Homo-oligomer: A and B are copies of this chain.
Amino acid sequence: MMKFEVTTIGTGAALPARGRLPSAQVVNLGDRLYMIDCGEGTQEQMRRNGIRMQCLEHIFISHMHGDHYLGLMGLLSTLHLLGRTDALYVYGPEPLGEVIHVQLRASQTYLRYPLHIRITPFASGEVVMEDERLVVTSLVLQHRIPSTGFILREKPGMRKLKRSSVDIIPHYLRTAVKAGADLDLPDGSRVPNEDLTDPPMEPRSYAYCSDTSYTPALVQHLIGVDLLYHESTFTELLADKAKETMHSTAAQAAMIARDARVGQLLLGHFSSRYKSVEPLLSEAAAVFPNTIASEEGGVYPIGPPTSV
């Protein structure tokens, strides 16, 4: 089974402190890397964590608060200096293009690689990006400035050959059968595909809910997601502050996870006031037990429990 995991590079909120770094994650699907948010210092942390920058093809920016994008220009510049020639795709809210262009112009940098900047559709469920391996769709979040989340869904794989049928299918027909074809035998009879194969593994999925107030409208889009990252800036004691600043409490993140019946909840975007994430984790786990707190450089598998 293809590797599918997420590395949380930074788990802090806007004010960096306590060794936490601003938001950035790298999703690895079969060694193809997808970045979500890119706070200051991300490239330095990728180096430390041995994440190969040149394997990046797509970068998704949730919103234009500095702790979610200020590492992007440095990363774009480093890829250029390292001699990249492959195209790079960056997705984000509308002002992102101007922010990038103004800075490339100021530094008179002419990138060696094609850089494509795409505006993320501000509507939940719209396709942001699609390649052979996955589909990324958007989630409209509720924050002080336009903010989107992203769902990364694996594409359905091939059907799996039953052990009993392996011997009767000629090698050259196996891919066709895995793709769903029936098998014509030399005697003229036909074996239906469902006798030869089992359905493919359920496609795995990861959802990233960046800065947002508690938004139950998200639940319908998150149903059955394997791993849900949801910001959890505050404990319940500061629920008012969460509301005012349009962030979520850990318990609110867990309510979304519970109501969407996700596999596992990953917490992050912890306020610098919390020395330990323990209170956030325990408040969330009281609502949704299968919850973990992200750590700097932590790697989390994406998939149903049996595959973990």
Contacts and interface: CB of A to CB of B under 8 A. Distances in A.
Contact of A95 (B47, B74, B106, B145): B106
Nearest to A48: B19
A85 B200 CA distance: 60
Interface stretch (A75-83, A117-125, A131-139): A75-83
B99 A103 contact: yes
Interface size class of A (residues with CB under 8 A): 35 or more
Interface in A116-161: 144-145
Contact of A74 (B47, B70, B81): B70
Contacts of A105: 95
A96 B105 CA distance: 11
A94 to B, nearest CB: 9
A263 interface: no
Contacts of A285: none
A51 interface: no
A73 interface: yes
A286 interface: no
Nearest 3 CB-CB pairings of A with B: A95-B106, A64-B106, A40-B74
5 contacts: A16-B43, A40-B71, A41-B44, A66-B74, A108-B145
Interface of A: 14-17, 21-22, 40-41, 43-44, 47, 64-67, 70-71, 73-74, 77-78, 81-82, 95-96, 98-99, 102-103, 105-109, 144-145
